[in-house]
Amino acid sequence: MTDITRFAPSPTGYLHLGHAYSALFAARHGWRAGGRFILRIEDIDSGRCRPQFERAIYEDLIWLGLDWERPVLRQSDHMATYRQALDRLHDRGLLYPCFCTRREIVAEINAAGRAPHGPEGVLYPGTCARLSASETAERIESGQEFALRLHMSDAIKQAGHLTWRDTIAGEVTADASIFGDVVLARKDVPTSYHLASACDDHRQGVTYVTRGTDLFQATHIHRLLQHLLDLTVPRYCHHRLITDPSGKRFAKRDGAATLRQIRQSGKSPEDIFEQIDWQGPP
């Protein structure tokens, strides 16, 4: 079976060893049996993404010996596509504007005493879902900023029972309720990772999504969006994470050693393969 795989980094910093493993894993699967490997630049967050980081992504991957299909899809060039997806969800009555600031959300949660948590932190208590249509319209007309949230309970009712197939975990029942009324768009970032990723996997014909286990929970919401937007459903493989000697996974925010630093120190790609114990995917 031939597959189309993808590596989809965000240019918010330089790639590290965890990225190297993920890119190699996806490329190896994509090249098997005459398949295809795609690079996608997930640059929806204009406030954090930088051109120099995008250039470094290409340089690092070439240094590792990887190649990919051209042209490269850059999410910032396709905001209209995500807007159309939001419009479809709105037409199904599944979106509502949320005017709450982070401070207001925290205050309401603290007042309630205890709030359930999901993969992205404390679940939103649904404050703005309870606003009347007239109050919502008045706030929008006044110019008050808002995010767009998914009516999760209604979305799940419309979707019914959903599953996805994971190479390692087997058949998984989707439970997007763990995210609560997830944000799908904000004024400063007009689409979310979840929405853009689901739309782009469909548009690019990706048949096999390979990514780290840290994104396993995200697949619950992606599977729901795929159903609601009539998108294709790929197979998945959530592979192991690369960790340092103490067992801590590599992350940009923690200042993990970057591939750029490693190659500038004179090390070779073979040194990287040894360091991440690269044996290829199962």
* Residue 240 in this model has a pLDDT that exceeds 80: yes
204, 230, 254 - which closes a domain: 204
Residues 103 and 142 in one domain: yes
Please check whether residue 263 lies inside any domain of the structure: yes
Residues 109 and 63 in one domain: no
Please check whether residue 218 lies inside any domain of the structure: no
Give per-residue pLDDT as tens, 2-33.
Answer: 899 999 999 999 999 999 999 999 999 999 87
Q: Which pLDDT does position 282 carry in this prediction?
A: 44
CATH of the domain at 12: 3.40.50.620
CATH of the domain at 189: 3.90.800.10
Q: Which pLDDT does position 109 carry in this prediction?
A: 66
* Residue 234 in this model has a pLDDT that exceeds 90: yes
Residues 168 and 250 in one domain: no
Residues 99 and 65 in one domain: no
Residue 253 pLDDT grade (very low, low, confident, very high; cuts 50, 70, 90): low
Residues 181 and 131 in one domain: yes
Give per-residue pLDDT as tens, 30-81.
Answer: 998 789 999 999 999 999 999 999 999 999 999 999 999 999 999 999 999 9
The residue type of 239 is: H
Residues 280 and 174 in one domain: no
Give per-residue pLDDT as tens, 185-213.
Answer: 998 889 999 999 999 999 999 999 999 99
Residues 83 and 196 in one domain: yes
Count of structural domains within the chain: 2
Residue 14, C-beta contacts closer than 8 angstroms, at least 6 positions apart: 53, 56, 60, 252, 258, 259, 260, 261
Higher pLDDT, 124 or 4: 4
Please check whether residue 139 lies inside any domain of the structure: yes
Please check whether residue 72 lies inside any domain of the structure: yes
Q: Which pLDDT does position 121 carry in this prediction?
A: 73
Residues 184 and 252 in one domain: no
Residues 101 and 27 in one domain: no
Residues 42 and 31 in one domain: yes
Residues 87 and 195 in one domain: yes
Please check whether residue 189 lies inside any domain of the structure: yes
Q: Which domain holds residue 58?
A: 1-77+242-282
* Residue 278 in this model has a pLDDT that exceeds 50: yes
Please check whether residue 215 lies inside any domain of the structure: no
* Residue 263 in this model has a pLDDT that exceeds 60: yes
